[in-house]
Structure 1
Amino acid sequence: MAGIAYFEIQVDDPERALAFYGDVFGWRFVKQDGLPVAYWRIETDGMHGGLLQRPCPAPPLGQGTNAYVCSVGVDDFDATAARIESLGGQVALAKFAVPGLCWQGYFIDPEGNTFGLFQPDSDAG
């Protein structure tokens, strides 16, 4: 059974957010090059995550949940992606390599919620 293994925070001002989360929680950030967006890996004492420049405007306050994106770790990205689409999910951002770490992609469920999918793979790239 797959579980939530990774979270991401989309932000308007990465430097402000890095300072905020670092000061509040003591999180450490590592810039990750080679991705289709500006991205920092988040290292915590628990679940790890990522912080990225928001790719589009956030919904205004009072317009439903505005939250972190969670990613589910799977053994076979392609098979899981096919299953998601066959059950009515949509691709939000196609599969891409996080060099040396994993294959990552994003989907929208039939209710309009965004979630990530990743397959660990040290040979990704």
Structure 2
Amino acid sequence: MTSPTHGWICYLEIPADDVPRSSAFYRDSFGWRLRQHDDGTVAFDDGREGRVVSGMWVTGRPPMAEPGIVISIMVDDVVAASARIEDSGGVIVRPFDPDGAEKIAWFRDPGGNVLGIYQEP
């Protein structure tokens, strides 16, 4: 029998050329909690209770600039989240399509990574 967390996506490493700028972007856009490690690295938790996704920003890696696999962040309102992303220094690269099958949009973060936002129908 597998554990209830088997297969659960739980940890991300996000490339960043400016960790303070990128970490502030995710904090301000999505409410992620930031943690400073003793070695100077910055880690995050996604702000939820229970099954938390965590990770850290890493330097020295190229950004995930072209969509291949698109990791999406759950939001309450895709339109409001798009505005917060832009206000926090991100760029919407694929806007929400009200006629689309899903409520999604893609954005480029300050480090050049392309990710998505997703609103449950």
User: TM bucket by the smaller chain?
Assistant: 0.3 to 0.5
Normalised by the length of structure 2, the TM-score is 0.42
Which has the higher relative contact order, 1 or 2, with Cα contacts under 8 A spaced 6 or more apart?
A: 2
